[in-house]
Each structure stands twice: as C-alpha cells, then as structure tokens.
C-alpha cells in the first residue's frame, strides 16, 4: 500500500523509486559538471556515469564498454534495430510497440514471428523465416512479455539466429529484477533494460551491444557513449539506475507466491475468469486476465474507485484502453480481449495489497452479476 492509502499493482508500467536510487539521484543532482567537460566538475560527473556503467556491466555480466546509456527502454529498442549489417528484420508479433513501430517503418524487409495460444513464439516458423530472409537478419524477441508475463525461449531463438549468421536483440525490460538476466547465457547480441521497471528513476535505460554489432546512431551530434548515442548524459537518472540495479542484484528474486494467491482468489470469485498465458512459464509478478462480458474500462474504473491501481496492458498508449496486439496474436477473441486487465506486482507489494485487489474484484463481479441482461 502506498503512502496515500491506495494499493499500487501496476509495476509493469513503472515501479516505485527505491530509497537507494532516490539518494543516488539527489547526490548526483548536486554535481554541477557536464560529463563531457575536462575540468574537475566535468570529471566528477563523468566519474558518476563511469561508476554506473561498471555497475550495470557487472550485474549483467558484460564489459563496461558494451553499455550504452539511453533515455529509456523505448530509445534503446529503437537503437537496437539500427544494426548496420542487417539486411532484413524479423520481429515477434508480441513485441513492445517501441520495437514493432520502428521495425515496420525501417524500410528493410520485415516479417513477424507468430505465437501460439499460450503466447510462445513459433520456433519452427522462425526457422522458416530465417531461411527465406535476406541474410544477415536482425531478429528481435523479448525475454518476457509486458502484458502476459510469458517468458520466451530466448536461448533456443539465439541458436537458430546464429546458425543463420544473424543478430539477436532481446528486450529484457520487464524481465530484469524478476527472473535471472545475464547477457551471455541468453545468447543475445543486443539487450535492452530500463531503470523505472526496477525501482530506478524514469528517463534512463541502456542498450547492451556485443562487439560484433555495428550500430548506426539514432541520435547524432556528439561523441558520448563511445560515439553510439549523442547528447549530454542524464547523470542523475543514470546514477539512480545503477543504484536500483545494484540493489535488486543483491536480493532474492520474486517467488511468485503472491501472484499465485491472487490468481487463486480471482478464480474463486469468478470461476469463468481466464488467465492469459497460464499454460506457459511466466514472470512471477504478472497476471493478465479477463471475464467475458466485463469490459476493461469498467474493470479499471472499479478497481480505481476501490483504491487499487491496475492496468489494461501496456501503459504506453497515452492512457487509452486499446485492443491488445499481444492477445490478438495469441488468437484471443476481440470480445474477450476487450476485457483484459493486467495486475503486476513489485517490490512494495504485500499480502494486504493482494487482499485489497481481491476485495475490489469481488465487488466488481457482484455488480457485473447484478447488471440487467442486454
């Protein structure tokens, strides 16, 4: 429960700032210099960025020079698609819009990998697409989906991609801090992470890039980030990012117990509720569900009035409740998908929060049952 007395269960959209990250931001804000300046003040700012780079590198198992700081996950995803040597793009149908939109607009041949009803990428179809594509191809498959929490077989994807001499980008924004994420075991060539999903500040992210990847900068005009991303670094946000990722690396990962209790309660109240992706391995914090006939707008309003913050899926569409391309790709009917609600737990979530969510859901279902038939 937050200081306002409300229950916050929308951690996949953003998670509250950790105290260590807050302190790191405040300390960095007291540093006056530009990290590109050579005087003492500039060197002080540069030191903060360098230390943060080393922290991220150590947590992800990479060398510091592989870390490119960006303004967030969306920018990192856009940059990841700008692999100079890739002649075609292959992207899973359930990727975040910050991958799908630039891929469609790129101009190179673009194909989508379908998923099954559980939300898992079709490896057989990926292999066929790689056979057909102009090589080398750049493939983008997220580690875990932001709406359903479904975890993808990224290592198997990497093996296929590299057997075809391609490049693999993995969006690990939702996975980081919830399941183990290390660069080398995944087999990725590029990896995206974001601060505000970990308890860091909004406005900072990173793209991890292997040495063999040559990137065409998305932002030009300066030599920052080893010439791969121009612009004065957001020193305070980067410092907070590093503090957050360092803290989560020292703590046990979520067990999934609270999520399982939530889902058991949802089904006890409304046995016909459907949990999307339940047949696949999922993040331990994510539950995306729907009850036929109960619109998402109604459910979100009911939860909110009961003091519980949840969402209808991705929070990157100007706050609008729109049809989910993820659920559509899974073959979920428009009618059922239009009622999809996502509850996502985080580092502040307690047993009391789960009870508050279930009480709100109970009230919603009771009102839904009492509604006159159309």
User: Could you tell me which residues are beta bridge partners of residue 311?
Assistant: 342
The residue written with tokens 């590093």 in the block is: 242
Which among 369, 339, 329 has a CA at the least distance from the CA of 274? 339
- Transcribe 32-65 into DSSP letters: -S-TT--SHHHHHHHHHHHHHHHHHHHHHTS-GG
Interacting residues of 293 by C-beta distance below 8 A, sequence separation 6+: 339, 368
Cβ neighbours of residue 267 under 8 Å, at least 6 residues apart?
273, 275
316 has catalytic annotation? yes
Nearest to 237 by CA among 64, 35, 10, 3: 35
Residue carrying the six token digits 């999903």: 197
Q: Which of 59, 287, 288, 316 is catalytic?
A: 316
Alpha carbon distances (Å) from 373 to 299, 368, 370 = 18, 10, 9
- Spatial CB neighbours of 319, under 8 Å, sequence gap ≥ 6: none
Residue whose C-alpha is closest to residue 143's, from 129, 130, 131, 156: 156
Please identify which residue in the block is written with the tokens 């991303």.
229
User: Between helices 40-60 and 235-249, what is the axis angle to 10°?
Assistant: 30
Which structure tokens are listed for 281?
């391995």
Angle between helical axes of 351-370 and 296-305 (0-180°, round to 10): 130
Supply φ then ψ for residue 8, to 5 degrees: -100, 115
d(CA 326, CA 345): 20
Contact status, residue 90 vs residue 138, Cβ threshold 8 Å: yes
Catalytically annotated residues: 316
């Amino acid at each position: 429960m937050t200081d306002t007395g409300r229950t916050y269960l929308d951690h996949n959209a953003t998670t509250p700032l950790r105290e260590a990250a807050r302190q790191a931001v405040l300390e960095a804000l007291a540093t006056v210099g530009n990290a590109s300046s050579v005087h003492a003040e500039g060197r002080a700012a540069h030191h903060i960025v360098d230390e943060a780079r080393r922290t991220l590198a150590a947590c992800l198992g990479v060398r510091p020079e592989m870390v490119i700081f960006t303004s967030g996950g969306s920018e990192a995803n856009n940059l990841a698609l700008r692999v100079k040597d890739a002649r075609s793009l292959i992207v899973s149908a359930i990727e975040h819009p910050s991958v799908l939109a630039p891929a469609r607009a790129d101009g190179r041949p673009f194909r989508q990998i379908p998923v099954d009803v559980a939300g898992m990428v079709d490896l057989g179809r990926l292999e066929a697409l790689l056979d057909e594509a102009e090589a080398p191809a750049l493939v983008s498959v997220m580690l875990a989906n932001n709406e359903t929490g479904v975890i993808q077989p990224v290592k198997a994807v990497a093996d296929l991609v590299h057997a075809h001499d391609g490049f693999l980008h993995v969006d690990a924004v939702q996975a980081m801090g919830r399941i183990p994420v290390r660069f080398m075991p995944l087999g990725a060539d590029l990896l995206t992470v974001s601060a505000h999903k970990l308890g860091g500040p909004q406005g900072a992210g990173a793209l991890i890039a292997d040495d063999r990847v040559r990137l065409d900068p998305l932002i030009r005009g300066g030599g920052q980030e080893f010439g791969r991303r121009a612009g004065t670094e957001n020193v305070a946000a980067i410092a907070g990012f590093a503090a957050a990722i360092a803290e989560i690396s020292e703590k046990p990962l979520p067990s999934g117990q609270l999520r399982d209790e939530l889902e058991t309660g949802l089904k006890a109240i409304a046995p016909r509720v459907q949990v999307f992706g339940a047949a696949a391995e999922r993040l331990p914090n994510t539950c995306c569900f729907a009850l036929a006939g109960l619109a998402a707008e109604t459910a979100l309003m009911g939860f909110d009035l009961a003091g519980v913050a949840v969402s209808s899926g991705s929070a990157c569409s100007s706050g609008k409740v729109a049809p989910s391309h993820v659920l559509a790709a899974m073959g979920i009917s428009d009618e059922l998908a239009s009622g999809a609600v996502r509850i996502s737990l985080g580092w502040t979530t307690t047993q009391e929060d789960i009870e508050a969510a279930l009480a709100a859901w109970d009230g919603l279902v009771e009102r839904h049952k009492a509604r006159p038939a159309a």
